[in-house]
Amino acid sequence: MSEQGNKPEITETLNSGSRDIPEHVAIIMDGNGRWASSRGLPRFEGHRRGVESVRRTVKASIEIGIKNLTIFSFSAENWSRPAAEIMELMGLLKRFIRHDLADLHEQNVKILIIGERENLSKDLCVLLDEATGLTFANTGLILTVAFNYGGRQEILRAAQAMARAVELKKINVNSITTDIFADFLDTAGTPEPDLVIRTSGEQRISNFLLWQCAYSEFVFLPVLWPDFDKSHLEKAILEYRNRERRFGGLHHQASAKIASLGRFSA
């Protein structure tokens, strides 16, 4: 059956089991450059079409009932790309915030930005602060944008911050737990991803949410990011629902853990 023909069935299946919708979906948006190259277009056009996919995915996440959506927008390693492409990517983010912020706010979306501010222009930092400030009290979908972000760099920053807290005697080194350490991460207060999706067919994590993805389920899709739509998101969720999450234990232990966390509560 065609992908288009599957859409009603997929949507109906998800709606019939809304308790199994992952609370937090994280996406490694990959394939913009390859999408453009395969069509004889400049790489920038792939990135521009990728922004349209972000809009579709935010809308689809709201419709499906996902509570947290995290997107890997610009990695700390992307600074090695050509300067012209970096300028284009920065410009796209600026335009996205300027053009979409009011609409996201109207949809009750709360925006969070994780990553370092180093190397970012002052006007971009102002826009990022405007986006998080305006939507701070919103209670709908939490959209976390990982920008100028790297998982190793985040863990290092957290370790340094925790070391300073120990030095200032704010915490005792012997009392440090994984939960306490997580409070020093950029994602403090956000649940760990239940499902991580990577597009383009590549099967690697690329320094994304290294700490947080310890027990996430991964789905790798061959679709290039500019072609990603609601049907692809739904298919990934259906695959996620067919998995047995054990969190390092046995099936009955995993079920008890999920129940105690209230992960899939209505």
Under a CB-based contact definition with an 8 Å cutoff, are residues 134 and 158 in contact?
A: no
| Lowest pLDDT segment from 7-16, 28-37, 114-123 | 7-16
CA distances from 95 to 52, 58, 117 (A): 12, 17, 18
pLDDT at position 72 is 95
Specify the amino acid at residue 165.
A
| Lowest pLDDT segment from 128-132, 225-229, 253-257 | 253-257
What percent of the chain stands above pLDDT 70? 86
Residue 204 has pLDDT above 70, yes or no: yes
Please state whether 88 falls in left (phi above 0), alpha (psi between -120 and 50) or beta: alpha
The 10 Å Cβ neighbour count of residue 258 is 15
Mean pLDDT across the stretch 135-161? 97
pLDDT at position 265 is 40
How far is the C-alpha of 182 from the C-alpha of 167, rounded, in Å? 18
> What are the tens digits of pLDDT across the range 61-99?
999 999 999 999 988 888 888 888 888 888 888 989 999
User: Could you tell me which residues come within 8 angstroms of residue 253 by beta carbon, excluding any fewer than 6 positions away?
Assistant: 246, 247
pLDDT at position 3 is 42
Helices (H) and strands (E) in the chain, counts: 9, 6
Q: How confident is the model at residue 6 (pLDDT cuts 50, 70, 90)?
A: very low
pLDDT at position 18 is 54
Under a CB-based contact definition with an 8 Å cutoff, are residues 71 and 27 in contact?
A: yes
What is the residue whose two structure tokens read 């500019």?
226
Residue 208 token pair: 């994304």
How far is the C-alpha of 147 from the C-alpha of 212, rounded, in Å? 16
Q: Nearest to residue 51, comparing CAs of 109, 98, 14, 96?
A: 96
Radius of gyration of the chain (CA): 19
Residue 144 has pLDDT above 60, yes or no: yes
State pTM to two decimals. Answer: 0.86
For the domain covering 21-150+191-261, report its CATH number.
Answer: 3.40.1180.10
Q: How confident is the model at residue 35 (pLDDT cuts 50, 70, 90)?
A: very high
C-alpha 62 chain-centroid distance: 14
How is the chain split into domains, by residue range? 21-150+191-261
User: Could you tell me which residues come within 8 angstroms of residue 148 by beta carbon, excluding any fewer than 6 positions away?
Assistant: 74, 75, 76, 115, 116, 117, 118, 119, 120
Please give the backbone phi and psi of residue 73, each rounded to the nearest 5 degrees, phi first.
Answer: -90, -45
pLDDT at position 82 is 84
Sign of CA dihedral 204, 37, 57, 228: negative
Query: How does the average pLDDT of the chain come out, rounded?
Result: 88
Find the catalytic residue in 15, 20, 68, 78.
Answer: 78
Under a CB-based contact definition with an 8 Å cutoff, are residues 36 and 45 in contact?
A: yes
DSSP label at 175?
G
Mean pLDDT across the stretch 8-26? 69
Under a CB-based contact definition with an 8 Å cutoff, are residues 112 and 94 in contact?
A: no
Residue 8 has pLDDT above 50, yes or no: no
The 10 Å Cβ neighbour count of residue 81 is 15
Q: Given 3-state DSSP classes, what are the helix, strand and coil percentages for the chain, each rounded to the nearest 5?
A: 50, 15, 35
More confident residue, 261 or 120: 120
Find the catalytic residue in 30, 100, 186, 194.
Answer: 30
The 10 Å Cβ neighbour count of residue 208 is 22
What percent of the chain stands above pLDDT 90? 73
Identify the three-state secondary structure at position 2. Answer: coil
Catalytic annotation present for 78: yes
pLDDT at position 189 is 96
Mean pLDDT across the stretch 242-266? 60
